[in-house]
């Protein structure tokens, strides 16, 4: 299934501040390696998978703009813009807004509560799983439910290492979700199990290797090359697995899903 996604070249990507437990200003990224890892992903999407990749211009002094999954949540012709919790990222919103408007999106909303885009809101069929409280506020979920007219299931994240929902949960296909159970409350797990026929539970090593920060089109799944257990499970399911190196972005608390925003219907 072809996908349309938005990416941002890592020209200004760096660790300039610390806003999650993975980031350490004294553990800098190798710019060259980051560029080649990003390029590898871009090439895989465009050449191997035939996905339609749109690009937004990177902006100086916004090093985390490369993580486009936080740039909004796009469902059909509607866009919920991000209200970033940390001042360091708040400057990104206007550039994402500009990009969406230029692409012809007309129905945009900026939630009144903190909300960090698809990083904290993953669509599974007609259900939106939404994470809180590290970077998005639970009351934002009600705003999303109204704006998109969808059922929103709030999932509380309990482990600071998995501070965005997309670090702990993958939408694999229409029947399947993968997650790291220890990052959720019992109530949250129950809410997922009640709805999703097949729930894959990832081991800690795979979760810490950023294996759940993966992008799937239902036939192909792109994930961190450190997530061997999940890769084996997906192969057994008959999926085409594409393990990719992502070390430099993980130093910032991000993986391939964070670098990839779903546009779904390819423009308004």
Q: Residues 176-215 vs ligand ARG: string with x where CB under 6 A?
A: ----------------------------------------
Choice between 15 and 192, CB closer to ligand ARG? 15
* DSSP β-ladder status, 261-262 and 151-156: unpaired
Q: Which of 6, 8, 65, 69 binds ligand ARG (CB under 6 A)?
A: 69
**Closest separation in Å from C-beta 85 to ligand ARG:** 9
**Closest separation in Å from C-beta 161 to ligand ARG:** 11
Check binding of 68 to ligand ARG (CB under 6 A): no
Choice between 137 and 240, CB closer to ligand ARG? 137
3-state secondary structure of 122: strand
Choice between 30 and 232, CB closer to ligand ARG? 30
Residue with tokens 């399911």: 237
Choice between 72 and 254, CB closer to ligand ARG? 254
Cβ neighbours for 39, distance < 8 A, ≥ 6 positions apart: none
Q: Which of 49, 253, 256, 263 binds ligand ARG (CB under 6 A)?
A: 253
Strand extents, DSSP E, the chain: 4-7, 52-55, 73-75, 78-80, 107-109, 121-124, 127-132, 151-156, 169-173, 176-179, 198-201, 215-216, 220-224, 240-244, 261-262
Residue whose C-beta lies closest to ligand ARG: 119
109 catalytic residue (yes or no): no
Size of the site for ligand ARG (CB under 6 A): 16
* DSSP β-ladder status, 127-132 and 52-55: unpaired
Helix and strand tally (H, E) in the chain? 8, 15
249 closest CA partner among 54, 29, 63, 32: 29
Kindly tell me the sign of the dihedral angle through the C-alpha atoms of 31, 33, 37, 43: positive
**Closest separation in Å from C-beta 194 to ligand ARG:** 25
| Among the residue ranges 39-47, 146-154, 219-227, 253-261, the one whose residues contact ligand ARG (CB under 6 A) | 253-261
The whole-angstrom separation of Cα 166 and Cα 35 is 22
258 catalytic residue (yes or no): yes
**Closest separation in Å from C-beta 139 to ligand ARG:** 20
- Marked catalytic residue, from 8, 141, 164, 220: 164
Q: Which of 93, 167, 176, 224 binds ligand ARG (CB under 6 A)?
A: 167
Q: Residues 104-123 vs ligand ARG: string with x where CB under 6 A?
A: ---------------x----
What is the distance of C-alpha 214 from the center of its chain?
Answer: 8
3-state secondary structure of 232: helix
The whole-angstrom separation of Cα 202 and Cα 229 is 8
- The footprint of ligand ARG (CB under 6 A) covers 19-20, 23, 64, 67, 69-70, 89, 119, 164, 166-167, 252-254, 258
Catalytic residues, by residue number, are: 164, 258
């Amino acid at each position: 299934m072809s996908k349309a996604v938005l990416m941002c070249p890592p020209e200004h990507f760096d660790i300039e501040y610390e806003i999650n437990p993975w980031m350490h200003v004294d553990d800098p990224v190798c710019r060259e390696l980051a560029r080649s890892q990003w390029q590898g992903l871009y090439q895989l999407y465009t050449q191997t998978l035939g996905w339609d990749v749109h690009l937004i211009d990177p902006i100086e002094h916004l090093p985390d703009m490369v993580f486009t999954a936080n740039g909004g949540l796009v469902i059909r012709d509607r866009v919920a813009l991000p209200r970033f919790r940390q001042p360091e990222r708040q400057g990104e919103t206007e550039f994402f807004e500009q990009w969406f408007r230029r692409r012809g999106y007309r129905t945009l909303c900026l939630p009144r509560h903190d909300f960090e885009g698809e990083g904290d809101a993953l669509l599974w069929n007609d259900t939106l799983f939404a994470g809180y409280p590290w970077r998005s506020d639970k009351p934002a979920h009600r705003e999303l439910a109204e704006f998109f007219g969808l059922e929103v299931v709030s999932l509380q994240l309990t482990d600071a290492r998995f501070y965005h929902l997309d670090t702990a949960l993958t939408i694999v296909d229409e029947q399947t979700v993968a997650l790291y159970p220890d990052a959720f409350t019992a109530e949250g797990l129950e809410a997922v199990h009640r709805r999703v026929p097949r729930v894959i539970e990832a081991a800690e090593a795979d979760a810490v290797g950023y294996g759940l920060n993966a992008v799937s089109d239902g036939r192909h799944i792109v994930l961190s090359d450190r997530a061997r257990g999940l890769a084996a499970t997906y192969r057994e399911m008959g999926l085409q697995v594409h393990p990719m190196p992502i070390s430099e972005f993980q130093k910032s608390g991000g993986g391939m899903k964070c670098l990839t925003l779903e546009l779904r219907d390819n423009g308004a």
